[in-house]
Structure 1
Amino acid sequence: MHYLRISDQPIEVGELYEKLVAPEYGGIDMFVGTVRQWTGPVETKEIEYSAYHPMAERQLEKLAEPIEAAGGRVVVAHRTGRLKLTDIAVFVGVAAPHRAEAFEWCRYIIDTLKQEVPIWKKEYDTDKVRWGN
């Protein structure tokens, strides 16, 4: 059963990893996204994440359901609020019977989450404030 969370609480990777471990899974793939200092020439000081929770939770459910119907397990946690450099912003984990599926599904979730789930970031850079997702 999937675990999906959007919260202002810190993300604990070890706890989320434990939700993926089960005897039926031979592959676990995880992506951990942190707040980075540099995006090309732009220097970031901190990021503030916000979300439209009801819709974001529904979108995450839509991402998880077909993967779980195909025999995988999905764990997603995304932070909201102000994050400092190196703070964990997002965790995506997928457990699958085989590694190829785990890799494919994990990448699909993080890429689709960035495009479709209503979570926004306000970047406080050294020169100005930028909005993105």
Structure 2
Amino acid sequence: MAMIKLSATPLDVNALYQVLKAPEYGGIVTFVGTVRQWTGPIETQSIDYSAYAEMAISQLNKLAAPIEAKGARVVIVHRIGHLDLMDEAVFVGVAAAHRAEAFEWCQYLIDTLKKEVPIWKKEFDTDKVRWGD
């Protein structure tokens, strides 16, 4: 069963990676999104993440279920609350028998999460506050 969580505490990336390891998996692909300082000319100082928690968890489980039904393992953990520069905001990991599937499914999960899951960020930039995705 997939590990799906929203976390108000810092992500332990190594511990999350360890959840993906198993003898049947030859490919493990992870994506870790961090708070970056620059988005083009915009300088970010920090971000607050919020979520419609019940819906976010439900949607993430729906995204993970068909991938796990194919024999893979999925871990998705997203931070909520206040994050500073370089803090880990999201961890998405897929373990699969082969690397090609692991890469494909990991990218699908992070791309779809950003488009469809009700998690929002409020960016505190040097010039103003912005709501982004």
Looking at structure 2, the residues matched to 110 and 68 of structure 1 have their Cα atoms a distance apart, in angstroms, of 16
Is 1:41 aligned to 2:66, yes or no?
no
Q: Deviations over 1:19-77 (max 9, x none)?
A: 00001100000000000000000000000000000000000001100000011100011
Count the aligned residue pairs. Answer: 133
| Percent pairwise identity | 69
RMSD: 0.5
Looking at structure 1, the residues matched to 7 and 50 of structure 2 have their Cα atoms a distance apart, in angstroms, of 10
| Alignment gaps of 5+ in structure 1 | none
1:132 offset after TM fit, Å? 1.4
1:123 offset after TM fit, Å? 0.2
With normalisation by structure 1, the TM-score equals: 0.99
Q: What is the match of residue 115 of structure 1?
A: 115
Q: What is the match of residue 14 of structure 2?
A: 14
Looking at structure 2, the residues matched to 28 and 95 of structure 1 have their Cα atoms a distance apart, in angstroms, of 4
Is 1:80 aligned to 2:76, yes or no?
no
Q: What is the match of residue 66 of structure 1?
A: 66
Query: What letter is aligned with 1:59?
Result: Q
1:119 offset after TM fit, Å? 0.2
With normalisation by structure 2, the TM-score equals: 0.99
| Alignment gaps of 5+ in structure 2 | none
1:89 offset after TM fit, Å? 0.2
Is 1:4 aligned to 2:13, yes or no?
no
Looking at structure 1, the residues matched to 60 and 99 of structure 2 have their Cα atoms a distance apart, in angstroms, of 22
